[in-house]
Structure 1
């Protein structure tokens, strides 16, 4: 049998050789590009990592500063002044009686703040002279009023000395302690306006804050028991001293002062 001659495909062979040659030529360039790309990626990753670390450090530092600011409040300024006081905090300026010694006595006065607007109490600690607390209370009224005049920026009205002639501790028929108040003969309590009536009543109310257990106040004028206070038409002979009124107290600061005072609510 006659053998058939095999055809040789020259074109595909040439194409394969050319492709191989082209790959050989491009391989170093591709390797360099791949290495460069890999290096750039690594550097970028490192840079991103560095940025992330810096950000975390800044955030951590910011948090530390915030925590430090919260944990280190500003220390309050010290104030060594002493005197009349009626507040328990010093966020502005104020004082409170924490304790008294055996040879001392605490005197408390009912006063009005802000032009007869708010009732309040003011306390002083003095060296006891051995007299009963009512006598010592009366003797120190001029001293307390003088303090109010010298510190008018506090906005405390003076205790109305002119209304009264004498204060005395007495013992009643049932052997309980009471306070006798003699009103000045020159004072017409029946014609008192609202502000004057409030001032009078707040002063009388002072005795419920004293350490002695006084049951009531007896009112005298012209050596006769009983007076008319204001235009009520009611003859007041005795005023019971209430120990627990369950009234709230608010902080009062006048526009001219930095001192806190306690203002009592009316209801």
Structure 2
């Protein structure tokens, strides 16, 4: 059979169809390698053999070298393309990850702000019968008296403007609070009030004849003055009638001043004029010798107007005084709930503790962590004052 004639293009095509050959040798190295292999073969010594071998080698070199160089260039380009592609992917991934991280951080921050806002809103919605010590600058507490002129009803007004507390007290009209509290009166109505330069004394000038008969009414009158100013830092109220020093009282004679006592050692009871009016935490008319006696009184109440504030099925196991902290331990197994009844109980104890000079109260034996706005798992700071309502 006649052998086919191969031209250069056919040989090149055939070589292109062969498997990819990767060779890092230079053309000279390839040439030397071929020469070495040819010379190492045992062939007949023929004058034409070296010429043929040389020609074949040169022919292969001529064909393979461009292909090898081209293939190397392609591989280098592919590697560079892949490198650039991978680099771009990595940069994109890093950028995306950075953006994702920033977005995640932003989302986390937003969620945290939302959570804090929700906590504040939840606390605002929860019921409380006291004002916090931190709110003292924005609160003025006044001592109203009930319709029978028997009880002092302390009420804390939230200031809505930049008026001084003294100015607010001067302008109070008790009748505008009757829908919320029932019929009440205010012993300082119509009085001119100013503050001494030392900010520790107030002057109360009544531009009317103060006619009070009987020791109970006189005591109630003086207690109303004390209840209005003792929550702040006043130490004394100087009394005047129509610019003249003193107020005429039947049993006391002329009363020139009233000393302020911040700690009156009172128990706190629940008062509510009717089902339509607010519940108030009201101090007892009399004082007690100890905080234990005050809390015992709060278990039973005093009469139909001053009702008990201690939940009837809750047993107080122990009351312990630790410096400025009062520890109240409830009997193990006591079931507590986050509702108004338990808020009233704990906040009345806090108010009474303040009356005896305690700064914090630590409740032990409570099976939940929060009641109302209180974190009962930790010691609680005593309040500033009782019964917050908005100023009208």
Q: TM-score, normalised by structure 2?
A: 0.37
Q: How does 1:54-203 map to 2 (within 5 A)?
A: 90=127, 95-98=129-132, 105-113=138-146, 115-129=148-162, 131-139=163-171, 141-142=172-173, 145-151=174-180, 154-160=181-187, 162=189, 164-171=190-197, 175=198, 177-184=200-207, 186-189=208-211, 191-193=212-214, 196-203=217-224
Cα displacement (A) at 1:125: 0.9
Q: 1:127 to 1:199 in 2, by over 3 A?
A: same
8 Å Cα contact 1:116-1:195 kept in structure 2 = no
The CA distance in 1 between the partners of 2:179 and 2:145, in whole Å, is 17
Point out where structure 2 has 5 or more consecutive residues left out of the alignment. 1-121, 287-392
Between 115-124 and 196-205, the greater mean CA deviation after superposition? 196-205
Q: Provide the aligned C-alpha RMSD in A.
A: 3.2
Write the deviation string for residues 213-258 of structure 1: whole angstroms up to 9, x where unpaired: 21100011132211222x1142211111111111111112234336
Aligned with 1:227 (options 247, 255, 260): 247
Equivalent position SS for 1:117 = coil
Q: How does 1:26-37 map to 2 (within 5 A)?
A: none
Point out where structure 1 has 5 or more consecutive residues left out of the alignment. 1-77, 82-88
Q: 1:148 to 1:198 in 2, by over 3 A?
A: farther
Q: TM-score, normalised by structure 1?
A: 0.52
Structure 1: 4+ residue segments shifted above 6 A: 78-81
In structure 2, the partner of 1:218 is: 238
Corresponding residue pairs, total: 164
8 Å Cα contact 1:208-1:243 kept in structure 2 = yes
- Which structure has the greater CA radius of gyration? 2
